[in-house]
Amino acid sequence: MSIQYFVESIPFPKFKKRSTSNWIKSVIILEGKTPGDISFVFCSDEYLLEVNRKYLQHDYFTDIITFDYVEDTNINGDIFISIDRVKENSLEYSSSFDNELHRILIHGVLHLLGYKDKKKGDKKLMTKKEDFYLKVLFDS
């Protein structure tokens, strides 16, 4: 079981890796699942666009792509995050970069936990979960 962080074509973003990993593991456990191997890859818009085109046949920018390798209750996956989008979102939503980065990290984990965000009700539930777990992180 491990949580790892990588970069592609960008400098490594600043955040507390150990406490973030512990937070992610605790969210998975609170959701009744077992933390497995999760890799986060921080990248540029252009890099993530290529991933989107190559693996999903989508030709548009996005902030996150999650590849789910979950087995039963064991949570595994690769999560690609555009740091360009995180910066843009922090400006758009008048939020700190740190808050937006952690929101997108947990968003990817919630996808691995089975949460969806395509339908209005699903998106509302996912945002509620994000808000709850961000509060857990920042209030601890």
Residue burial 74-101, b: 16+ Cβ < 10 Å; e: rest: ebbbbbbbbbbbbeebbeeeeeebbbbb
pLDDT of residue 18: 95
Give the per-residue pLDDT at 112.
Answer: 98
Determine if the pTM surpasses 0.75. yes
Q: What is the mean pLDDT of residues 100-114?
A: 98
Domains and CATH numbers, the chain: 2-139 (3.40.390.30)
Average pLDDT of the chain, as a whole number: 96
Residue 140 has pLDDT above 70, yes or no: no
Pick from 79, 124, 69: nearest CA to 102: 79
Write the pLDDT tens digit of every residue in 44-82: 999 999 999 999 999 999 999 999 999 999 999 999 999
- Please tell me the predicted confidence (pLDDT) of residue 61: 94
Which residue's structure tokens are 């555009």? Answer: 82
Indicate the helix (H) or strand (E) that contains 40.
strand 34-43
